[in-house]
Amino acid sequence: MGIQVSLLNLPVLNVASATDSALVSRSTEQNQTFQEAKIQNGYGTATTVSVSPGFGATVTAYIKIEVDSITQETFNEIKKEVKKSNSYKKNEDFKRQVDTSTYSSGASSSSGFFGWLIGKKGNSYSNTSSNMTDQINKYVSGDSSDDLTVANSVADIMVKNTSKVLVTAKVEVTGQLLVPSPTMIAVESTVFSFTKEDGTKSTVTMMNQTPLVPVDNATGTVSNNILEPGSKLSIAPIGG
């Protein structure tokens, strides 16, 4: 039996097996910007067309999509901002996570940042947590190292520096199915949806460059077809 992927339709790309969640945040004096943010984790299909290799045959799947995201330079700026937080200064586990985070694992790294800063030690969020919601809703302003101040600053940096990036890859897919079935390529993704106080919405999509996962387009399960070892995405600013 295949592993169910459960693809969901979202802007830009599909996100699979997502943890749908929300946090409600009042703006700070430093960044009077955001009223609400939603963070959704999972796997999204990176290919727009599928391939159907016969048993033992190898075909090439090409990935070329444009995504509203951030660049390596902005990620480094965010990482620098996160290091101002109390959590980074006082918690060795979070410090280790931040220090080892990379742009190539942007989906998991960026959602992990927010997880710690808003009081959840992981990549899942819920607006039903009264303690977390109360903390954020009652928060007005704080010093520069307050975790919620830093969280707002990180969101501010992310939105102000969002731009189109080009995501590409050339992936060899070898068929392992006696009856060929359309296969698409999925990648771990995190979609951030920010709402400003004036109602303006911004969406930022972060992706991990690896691993890439073959998904059976017909059944929504992980395919038995094999991807070339070492396959990964290339993410670059458009025009850069």
Q: What pTM value is reported for the model?
A: 0.78
Residue 58 lies in a domain: yes
Q: How many domains does the chain have?
A: 1
For all residues of the chain together, what is the average pLDDT? Answer: 78
Residue 126 lies in a domain: yes
List, as one string, the DSSP characters of the chain. -PPB--EE--SSS-EEEEEEEEEE-PPPSS-TTEEEEEEEEEEEE--SS-B-PPBT-EEEEEEEEEEEE--HHHHHHHHHHHTTSHHHHH-HHHHHHHHH--TTBHHHHHHHHHHHHTT-SSS---TT-HHHHHHHHH-----TT-HHHHHHHHHHHHHHT-EEEEEEEEEEEEB--SS---EEEEEEEEEEEEEETTS-EEEEEEEEEEEEEEEETTTTEE-S-EEPTT---EEEETT-
Check whether 221 has a pLDDT greater than 90: no
Residue 2 lies in a domain: no
Residue 179 lies in a domain: yes
Residue 99 lies in a domain: yes
Check whether 168 has a pLDDT greater than 90: yes
Model pLDDT for residues 35-86, shown as the tens digit of each residue: 777 888 788 888 888 999 999 999 999 999 889 999 999 999 999 999 999 9
Q: How much is the pLDDT for 141?
A: 42
Mean pLDDT in residue range 149-153 = 84
Range of the domain at 90: 7-237
Residue 1 lies in a domain: no
